[in-house]
Structure 1
């Protein structure tokens, strides 16, 4: 194994161990500060609906790690980055799951939402992809031209599509879009009501199982190589006035993230047992969690959940080169490095 990969993994393992040790010290050797602190109720918006990749929230809640840091956490179904940002700054949630590139695009557009900051990164690599049936004849991005695609309004597949099409060298203007809920895409594809669906790579196995035939997967990372995936956002006011709250939340959530990717079978069971997930099958969540590993570990020279600012700068540069954001955005305007926990 290359030395650089071992170093990155060591950083990730070390960060998880440090977090666990800090939690233990808080419980047993710090005078019971966490247990004596008045519990604060907070909410977090998921990315889109409730899907297996959201399991770390429920793992941290079920294991009592949010409680240990004085928090009672309610998970709310998100509706993609654009709506999540509107609800976040509108006061409907304390925390929100946001796609980093989508957030950058919103922040820099005329009249866009600017009252937010990104505080910890969940996925170091973007998860977006399109999935088509092999029988459709779609074998590469250029074959999407003129086709019918499913999407979530305000979701990153739709927000980044013009950039993706530009780099893949096809005309995005003749696409027909079909609005779909988070759990409807696979059924639309299986029923041939669309030619391809917006999805995240870890959900590929679930789509394949429902389609019951060979599929083609077109990851955005084939062309958008250095884009981040999801991150945890808060309002700029919360970041400035309640930094301890943000750190406590992030530390517990990242503990849940580490546990979920290390113990996907257990995490999938925990996820499927929650009232919010409405009886979803644990196997689908397990598959997503196993598929997440390559998007979280061994990518950035930073501990789990911490932004590598050189990669943030490259993320911005890619979007600038494609004309998706204007030049001159300092990464530190939107990404905070001292609140990850």
Structure 2
């Protein structure tokens, strides 16, 4: 369990806190909607600035945030653990994090009540380990004896002990060197590691950067009932400004749906705001992500969260010994703020 709690190093968190100090709007309790003044909000992407996170930039570019009353400062996130810590510390207002990773973090510390999820971004987990042909990795068992780079707070890293247990892998035989979100692709391309943690939609970008065919080990192959990213905010903000949270959520989800319907445009908008981004790869990521955002066959609204599914996710993690008993959906989801199914 100790490996689950080391989501960010003290130095990395302290640095991130210093960089973002004073950026959050959570100390401002005024509701500025309708009086002509835009409310400042700090938003963290889930992990770097790839196509999968382009929808926030689209919501800003298309003025969905502005129409909802917000002036949004979008900053690059470093993964589930670090993003949660920054929201809890009041240095960011909203961020998408992997729901299962959030459950693992809460379960490992036994502490709830600091943050809540208010909408789903993906209805299924996209966590995966990526390698390339010729690396010696083609099955989960091949991970033993290999180096897999990731950020300390990434959900891929947080989930790995559970994935390894279910996939028949000895987790103690896998080395996890640290890497920055923006540098992982380069580490894989340069051959300093055998694989990296990524979302399944990262396949086009992996192949574009490495110039090799990607090998992908999706966590959903052995954990079939897990959500992907969910939008979180601090419990304080959810309690004190529920209308503000609902307005922001609606604007962000509008950007998400627009991005999925117009992936090429979204890729260009991302490139405009992140010069290193590849717009074609970003568009391809969004096309792959479409099926994960929409609940197949259910007709559920984009953003909806289902209590029973979350309960099954908790039961799976408890059954695998990853979290203790006692955690319930209501302790991590604010169902009063979640878009209705």
Where on the TM-score scale, by shorter chain, does this alignment land: which range? Answer: 0.7 to 0.9
Deviations 1:34-89 (A, max 9, x none): 65453211111111222211111111111111111111111111111111111111
Matched, 1:332 2:324: no
1:263-274 aligned within 5 A: 263-274=262-273
**CA contact under 8 A between 1:43 and 1:93: conserved in structure 2?**
yes
Give the Å deviation of 1:97.
Answer: 1.8
**CA contact under 8 A between 1:121 and 1:307: conserved in structure 2?**
yes
Matched, 1:93 2:92: yes
Q: 1:287 aligns with which of 284, 298, 312?
A: 284
What secondary structure, in the 3-state scheme, does the structure 1 residue paired with 2:209 have?
helix
Give the Å deviation of 1:200.
Answer: 0.9
Distance in 1 between the 2:335 and 2:109 partners? 26
Runs of 4+ aligned residues of structure 1 deviating over 4 Å after TM superposition are none
Deviations 1:129-187 (A, max 9, x none): 11122212211101101211111101101100000000001101021112111132222
Q: Match of 2:29?
A: none
Of structures 1 and 2, the larger Rg is shown by: 1
1:98-117 aligned within 5 A: 98-110=97-109, 112=111, 114-117=113-116
1:43-54 aligned within 5 A: 43-54=42-53
Distance in 1 between the 2:266 and 2:282 partners? 8
Distance in 2 between the 1:79 and 1:307 partners? 24
Distance in 2 between the 1:165 and 1:271 partners? 34
Structure 2: unaligned runs, 5 residues or longer: 1-31
Matched, 1:245 2:254: no
Q: 2:306 aligns with which of 303, 308, 315?
A: 308
1:159-198 aligned within 5 A: 159-198=158-197
Give the Å deviation of 1:338.
Answer: 2.5
What secondary structure, in the 3-state scheme, does the structure 1 residue paired with 2:72 have?
strand
Matched, 1:258 2:261: no
What secondary structure, in the 3-state scheme, does the structure 2 residue paired with 1:180 have?
coil
Give the Å deviation of 1:92.
Answer: 0.5
Distance in 2 between the 1:258 and 1:129 partners? 24
TM-score normalised by the chain length of structure 2: 0.86
1:39-188 aligned within 5 A: 39-110=38-109, 112=111, 114-188=113-187
Distance in 1 between the 2:155 and 2:112 partners? 16
What secondary structure, in the 3-state scheme, does the structure 1 residue paired with 2:119 have?
strand
How many residues are aligned here? 307
**CA contact under 8 A between 1:130 and 1:196: conserved in structure 2?**
yes
Structure 1: unaligned runs, 5 residues or longer: 1-32
Distance in 1 between the 2:301 and 2:313 partners? 18
Matched, 1:214 2:222: no
Deviates more, 1:292-301 or 1:174-183: 292-301
What secondary structure, in the 3-state scheme, does the structure 1 residue paired with 2:176 have?
strand
**CA contact under 8 A between 2:123 and 2:295: conserved in structure 1?**
no
**CA contact under 8 A between 1:142 and 1:169: conserved in structure 2?**
yes
Distance in 2 between the 1:301 and 1:335 partners? 21
Give the Å deviation of 1:308.
Answer: 1.6
Give the Å deviation of 1:205.
Answer: 1.2
Distance in 1 between the 2:338 and 2:44 partners? 17
In structure 2, the CA distance between the partners of 1:113 and 1:86, relative to structure 1 (3 Å rule), is farther
Distance in 2 between the 1:286 and 1:110 partners? 38
